[in-house]
A = this chain, B = another copy of it.
Amino acid sequence: MSTPLYITMHPADNVAIVANDGGLPAGTVFPDGLTLVDKVPQAHKVALVDIPEGGAVRRYNATIGYANKPLPRGSWVHERLLTMPEARALEGLPIATVKPEPPPPLEGYTFEGYRNPDGSVGTRNILAITQTVQCVAGVTDFAVQRIKAELLPRYPNVDDVVALEHTYGCGVAIDAPDAIVPIRTLRNISLNPNFGGEVMVVSLGCEKLQPERLLPPGSIPIVDERNVADVGDTAEAKLDVVCLQDDAHVGFMSMVQSIMRQAEEHLERLNARRRETVPASELVVGVQCGGSDAFSGVTANPAVGYCTDLLVRAGATVMFSEVTEVRDGIDQLTSRASTPEVAEAMVREMAWYDAYLDKGRVDRSANTTPGNKKGGLSNIVEKAMGSIVKSGSAPITGVISPGEKLKQKGLIYAATPASDFICGTLQLAAGMNLHVFTTGRGTPYGLAEVPVIKVATRDDLARRWHDLMDVNAGTIATGEKTIAEVGWEMFQLMLDVASGRKKTWAEQWKLHNALVLFNPAPVT
């Protein structure tokens, strides 16, 4: 058996987690003399001192709970023994109090990307077919299969053809105040840097979300012939829309052929594009976690946090998200805001989400999963502390609301639900060109629209899921590597993946999860 090992996050903590694969039996003696009085599963907490009944249990230098009964030194501290603290009030928070020295810029790092007319850079060269409504999904899918089989082989520089299927567009309260969220999400996904500005739309005709409502004039930054429908010899700039209910469509195949004909024009232009060397500052990285365990906040997320700092130093953009997973650390975030306005925007997003959950008669504690608890995370407070570390240590310079597009670089708080699919979908809309996903329990998550780099928190998972996990941060727990080493490894891998030199495992297997919209408004 390997040496018994526990990991403490902060000198002020009174619990640590057991690092060894398979956990440790009662009676185990650690090198410093700490003796387990219970069997403690891997990634679960052990008391470092005697904690009295009602005493604060501290991890990440934060109170993650209060002891329901005396917890002797060496005992297993699990969720049934803790009472969760109340949510931090959103008043009286420290605002922009931390003014970290700007770290030295990181220069000279580049990748090979596709420069877009609007200045953004793609990491892949994909034809995306925007849909106004779920009604057209079957026809579009039929057409996409034919495009892939019959057209794509003739355009070898195009990586893929992706139907942006979603369940919105009709049968929804489209004039409800909150409907702005799904609508702008769909709009902004169409404009993701990986699609090269080649926007084409399949519409039914009678749907609530009409093409002009989805993409009003001016919403596509560069309107030139690339976004112009072929409508005879009129030269008017017009959204490139195939409308299935158009009178010109007689028979199913005429619809399929319309889609294929329009697709071919875009494929031709996409095929002519070439990668060029661009600075690392053109990376727009969305980070999130899913299937978390207690190692998430010890290995993978701190390594992501280190890498986030590298990216910010290189002038790139990093988004962190997941409202319910940062809610309990709001004071850390507001204090790291670069300006009071940024702090206020964060508080606004948290307050909106509190109210949203309250309407459904739940609160932030609805976040945690059976897997989280099995994995050693006692409650949302502990989960949040381990989730926030993905954001590193840089000042937070901007905040966007769900479905909004990024307007600036640096470290950005992109407010989204923690749901892996909804978070990923909203980060796509924000303009992400690379996705980093940490997981402890393991998930085969992938997206068709951007590469997803998956980071395992544990050695054991990385070993078993050797062809699904791209980075093994479990080496941090075993002592093989430092957080900095894994952070740098990730940074280098990002440049390789962004350049197309390496494919992620999700890309290899073509593992594609659904776009899942955040629609806080009613359906009808």
> Could you list which residues of chain A lie within 8 angstroms of chain B, going by C-beta atoms?
134-139, 141-142, 165, 167, 170-178, 204-208, 210, 244-245, 247, 249-253, 255, 290-291, 324, 356-357, 359-362, 364, 366-367, 369-372, 374-375, 417-423, 441-446, 464-468, 505-506, 509-514, 516, 518, 520-524
Contact = CB atoms under 8 A, between A and B. Distances in A.
A190 B210 CA distance: 34
Contact of A174 (B165, B366, B464): B366
A61 to B, nearest CB: 25
A176 B419 contact: no
Contacts of A509: 138, 142, 252
A389 B369 CA distance: 46
Contacts of A364: 524
8 contacts: A138-B444, A138-B506, A138-B511, A142-B510, A205-B442, A206-B442, A252-B468, A253-B467
Given A357-B524, A360-B522, A518-B523, A441 B176 contact: no
Contacts of A208: 369-370
Given A417-B171, A417-B524, A444 B136 contact: yes
A178 B360 CA distance: 8
Given A419-B172, A524-B418, A371 B442 contact: no
Given A206-B371, A360-B522, A367-B524, 19 more contacts: A135-B291, A135-B420, A135-B513, A136-B444, A137-B514, A138-B444, A138-B509, A141-B512, A167-B167, A167-B516, A170-B419, A174-B366, A175-B362, A176-B362, A206-B441, A207-B371, A245-B442, A417-B524, A514-B514
Contacts of A173: 357, 360, 362, 366
Contacts of A172: 419
A473 B369 CA distance: 51
A466 B251 contact: yes
B465 A251 contact: yes
Contacts of A520: 360
B523 A417 contact: yes
A231 to B, nearest CB: 20
A170 B443 CA distance: 12
Contacts of A205: 371, 441-442
